[in-house]
Amino acid sequence: MARDSCLARVAAGGAIGGAIGGAVGAVYGTYEAVRYKVPGLLKIRHIGQTTLGSAALFGLFLSAGSLIHCGKSY
């Protein structure tokens, strides 16, 4: 039973991290695309790449943090 709850915590941490990272990445990607005057449809591609990259990275870190905290008992 403890293993299932640990897996659920890691998955929830990854999902929350992905959502937060995606939101921050979308805002930052939009800012960068406007600031550097990215032309036409490349703006959408740039914003998408920034969003996905940020979501994946932050989700990975938050799920790893959840995994580390999973073994600790307070």
Residues 21 and 70: their CA atoms lie apart, in Å, by 22
Is pLDDT at 2 greater than 80 in this prediction? no
Q: pTM to 2 decimals? A: 0.87
Domain range list for the chain: 10-70
- Amino acid found at 12: A
Q: Which two tokens stand for residue 54?
A: 């940020």
pLDDT of 4 above 80: no
Per-residue confidence (pLDDT) for residue 40, from 0 to 100: 93
Looking at residue 72, what is its pLDDT?
Answer: 73
CA angle, corner 74, sides to 59 and 62, nearest 5?
Answer: 5
* pLDDT tens track for 11-66: 999 999 999 999 999 999 999 999 999 999 999 999 999 999 999 999 999 999 99
Contact assessment for residue 58 and residue 24, using Cβ atoms and an 8 Å cutoff: yes
